[in-house]
């Protein structure tokens, strides 16, 4: 469903991604872990072309783009690829002048050309899925951080993407609000949604992932099923990273 080949990304002379290869089957969940600045968020932003990769190939379903140094892909190709993904940001990025309902409707109307009635019906269904039917008419400033993030999840799903991307979805939340967001993501995983999640929530990663990938310094250090990567990691860098996390949470 998703195939990435030799993906690179540089900002000037700084190389952030160095030859990333990955495949993800439909209905599977990939969790990406790694230290800050390792390239995790950049990878997600490249997958939906919020950042233009320097080189490599990205294919989602039938949509494929080959990126070449010094050239930009056609705008129409970028839009087609981007519409295969729904992005959930760590800082929510809701439209402050729109209600929760309007936030979930907007992409459907502008990107999918749905009628207002169709968009509203779909938006209400998604708000019910994330437990926010009673907040449909609330503006972002009237919502808690956890509620805003759940609206963000509903908005990401509203365009019926093949792939959901989560960039540290709980990092901006107070600890007591983390659980409500992770509950929604667990529910989506149980429904068979194809997802890539960048997170530091290791217990959640172990529970929800089909595969775990450790990225450091722009390269894939190790990947495998959760029981293997957490239970008997093959690489010393993985052991160091997990040990450091354990120290920080004890």
- Looking at the domain assignment, is residue 94 inside a domain? yes
95 inside domain: yes
What is the residue range of 141's domain? Answer: 85-160
Q: Give the global pTM.
A: 0.94
Question: Is position 92 within any domain?
Answer: yes
pLDDT tens digits, one per residue of 227-241: 999 999 999 999 999
Is residue 149 in a domain? yes
User: Do the domain assignments include residue 91?
Assistant: yes
126-156 per-residue burial string, b: 16 or more CB within 10 A, e: under 16: bbebbebeebbebbbeebebbbbbbbbbbbb
Strands (DSSP E) found in the chain: 2-11, 14-24, 29-33, 55-60, 63-67, 85-88, 163-167, 195-198, 211-216, 219-224
Angle between helices 145-157 and 175-190 (to 10 degrees): 20
Within a domain: residue 120? yes
Total number of domains in the chain: 1
pLDDT score, position 117: 97
In this predicted model, what pLDDT tens digit does every residue of 169-194 receive, in sequence order?
Answer: 998 888 888 999 999 999 999 999 99
> 165 in a domain, yes or no?
no
- Per-residue confidence of the chain (250 residues) as pLDDT tens digits? 999 999 999 999 999 999 999 999 999 999 999 999 999 999 999 999 999 999 999 999 999 999 999 899 999 999 999 999 999 998 889 999 999 999 999 999 999 999 999 999 999 999 999 999 999 999 999 999 999 999 999 999 999 999 999 999 998 888 888 999 999 999 999 999 999 999 989 989 999 999 999 999 999 999 999 999 999 999 999 999 998 876 554 4
């Amino acid at each position: 469903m998703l195939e990435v080949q030799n993906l690179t990304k540089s900002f000037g002379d700084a190389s952030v991604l160095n030859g990333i290869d990955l495949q993800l089957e439909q209905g599977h969940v990939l969790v990406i872990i790694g230290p800050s600045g390792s390239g995790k968020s950049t990878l997600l932003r490249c997958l939906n072309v919020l950042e233009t990769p320097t080189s490599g190939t990205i294919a989602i379903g039938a949509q494929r783009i080959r990126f070449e140094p010094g050239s930009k892909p056609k705008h129409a190709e970028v839009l087609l690829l981007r519409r295969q993904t729904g992005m959930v940001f760590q800082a929510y990025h809701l439209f402050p002048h729109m209600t929760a309902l309007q936030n979930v409707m907007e992409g459907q109307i502008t990107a999918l050309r749905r009628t207002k009635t169709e968009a509203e019906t779909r938006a209400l269904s998604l708000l019910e899925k994330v437990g926010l039917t009673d907040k449909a008419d609330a503006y972002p400033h009237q919502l808690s951080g956890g509620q805003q993030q759940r609206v963000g999840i509903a908005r990401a799903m509203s365009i019926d993407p093949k792939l959901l991307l989560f960039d540290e979805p709980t990092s901006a939340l107070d600890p007591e609000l983390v659980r409500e967001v992770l509950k929604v993501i667990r529910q989506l995983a149980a429904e068979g949604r194809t997802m890539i999640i960048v997170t530091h929530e290791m217990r959640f990663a172990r529970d929800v992932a089909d595969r775990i990938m450790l990225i450091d310094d722009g390269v894939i250090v190790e990947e495998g099923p959760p029981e293997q990567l957490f239970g008997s990691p093959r690489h010393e860098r993985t052991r160091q990273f997990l040990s450091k996390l354990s120290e920080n949470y004890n």
